[in-house]
Structures are given as C-alpha cells and as structure tokens.
Amino acid sequence: MKAVEQIPNKSDATIKSSVLSERLSSINIPWRRVALYVSLCLGFFLLGFLPTWFKANYAIEQRDAAQREVRLGQLQSTLGSAMVDVQRGEYEPARQLTSDFYTNLRSQIDAANASVFTPAQRETLRPLLAERDEVITLLARSDRAAVDRLFAIYSSYNKITSSAS
C-alpha cells in the first residue's frame, strides 16, 4: 500500500506548455534572412540543373537520330544481303532475308509517329509492300527473275530513303 501511483496533474501539463510557448515566442526568427537563404539555394540548384537538363535533351535527340539511321541501315543491309545471296544462287537465304525486310518495313510503315520514315516516305514505300508475295514466290521457285526484281526494289528503297533523310 505504500506504492501509490502519482497521476499527473492537468495543471502541471499546462504549466509546462505555457513555459514552452513563452520560450518559443521569445525566439525571434529572421524570416527575411531565411527566405533569402532558401531563394539562394533554389537559385544555385537551378543554375546547376538547367544546363544538365538541356544537355540531356540534346543527347536524347542525338540518340534518337542515331537510332533512326541504324534502323534505316539495317533495313537496307537486309535487302542488300538478300541481293547478294540471290546473285550467288542461294535463293532460300535470300527469301528469308527478303521476308525479314518486308516484315520490318511493314512494322515501320505501320508505326506511324514512331516510324523511322517520314509520312511522305511511308506513302511512297507502300507500293513496295504490294510486291512482297510475288518476290518471295520468285525466290521460293529459285527463279532468276528474282535478281532483277530485288535490284529494282533495292534501288527504289534507296531512292526513297536517301531523298528525304
């Protein structure tokens, strides 16, 4: 029975809070100086951030242009490889490469804004897609006429892609 718990008094809590509020009110915070320091920090941050942001955007543009050129080159080299194979008399690898060329060309034409081709180029390249089945059939039959057809397609493709690059 000796151990009697002490229950904190409400008056003790109010005394402590009033002492704390008096101490806080006696502290004079120079708000103008704080605002100046915050503004300076923000200004120095932007001074470092903006040039980096501009450089990053420029690098992204350069990357996109390089990727476009690589995709165009891949399409051209696929068709060029098919031409070399057909001139050697290797019709099956030429047929596979020609099919890959047409598949990739179709995906680029259908990609709209994500395409490596401009809208004018896409419209000019559409007639090449119409020849797909006929050229692949010539290659599957090992027909020598496929050499001339592939050369004509390669020439048309080069003319279209090099004129508006």
Q: Which class for 23: exposed (0-12), middle (13-18), buried (19 or more C-beta within 10 A)?
A: exposed
Report the pLDDT value the prediction gives residue 91, as an integer from 0 to 100: 94
Averaged pLDDT of the chain: 86
Q: Considering Cα of 123, then 128, then 131, then 137, what sign does the dihedral take?
A: negative
Helix 91-110 vs helix 145-163: crossing angle, to nearest 10: 30
Tell me what the mean pLDDT of segment 107-135 comes to: 89
Q: Is 113 within the bounds of a domain?
A: yes
Would 131 be classed as within a structural domain? yes
Span of 20-34, 112-126, 144-158 with lowest mean pLDDT: 20-34
Q: In the prediction, which pLDDT does 24 show?
A: 62
Residue 5 pLDDT more than 80?
A: no
Model confidence at 6, in pLDDT bands (50, 70, 90)? low
20 within domain boundaries: no
Residue 144 placed within a domain: yes
Percent over 70 (pLDDT), the chain:
84
d(CA 77, CA 97): 10
Asked if the model's pLDDT at residue 3 lies above 60, the reply is: no
User: In this predicted structure, what is the pLDDT of residue 11?
Assistant: 62
Average pLDDT over residues 38-48: 91
Domain range holding 117? Answer: 91-165
The answer to whether residue 159 sits within a structural domain is yes
Q: Is 135 contained in some domain?
A: yes
- Cα separation, 13 vs 157, in Å, equals 86
**Separation of alpha carbons 68 and 45, rounded Å:** 35
Domain count for the chain, please give it.
Answer: 1
C-alpha distances (whole Å) from 134 to each of 79, 130, 157 are 16, 8, 17
